[in-house]
Amino acid sequence: MRVLRAIKRSPLALDLYAWVTWRVFKLQKTAFIPWEGLMRQMGSEYERVDNFVGKAKSALRKIRAVYPGLDLRYRKGGLLLYPSPPSVPALATWA
């Protein structure tokens, strides 16, 4: 709930949070994600990639503030995702 409260005013941040948490959970090795490909998945209202990139980076800053374990880096033309710990820690099991 803490994460959702922090990003609730941004539909793009909500979409990117859902996407990035699933993507890094499934990663076995580093993945390069081109901005154009990500825009096609997320940004149907964006006509230009550079407009999408600015909005996506802003949304990713919000996400990284609430998901400090997220390991991503910007590169020319896209971003690099690295396997990362889950955004929400697993519940402790009781014996």
Cα distance between residue 17 and residue 72, in whole Å: 13
Q: Above 80 in pLDDT, residue 6?
A: no
What domains sit in the chain, N to C, each tagged with a CATH number? 2-81 (3.30.1370)
Could you tell me the strand order of the sheet in which 31-34 lies? 31-34, 78-81, 72-75
| Residue 10 confidence (pLDDT) | 84
| Residue 45 confidence (pLDDT) | 80
Confidence band (pLDDT; 50, 70, 90) for 5?
confident
Q: Above 60 in pLDDT, residue 65?
A: yes
Cα distance between residue 55 and residue 3, in whole Å: 19
Task: Pinpoint the alpha helices (H) of the chain.
Answer: 2-7, 11-26, 35-42, 49-66
Q: Which two tokens stand for residue 43?
A: 């940004």
Give the mean pLDDT of the chain: 87
Average pLDDT for 39-43 = 84
Q: Above 90 in pLDDT, residue 76?
A: yes
| Residue 23 confidence (pLDDT) | 93
Q: pTM for the complete prediction?
A: 0.84
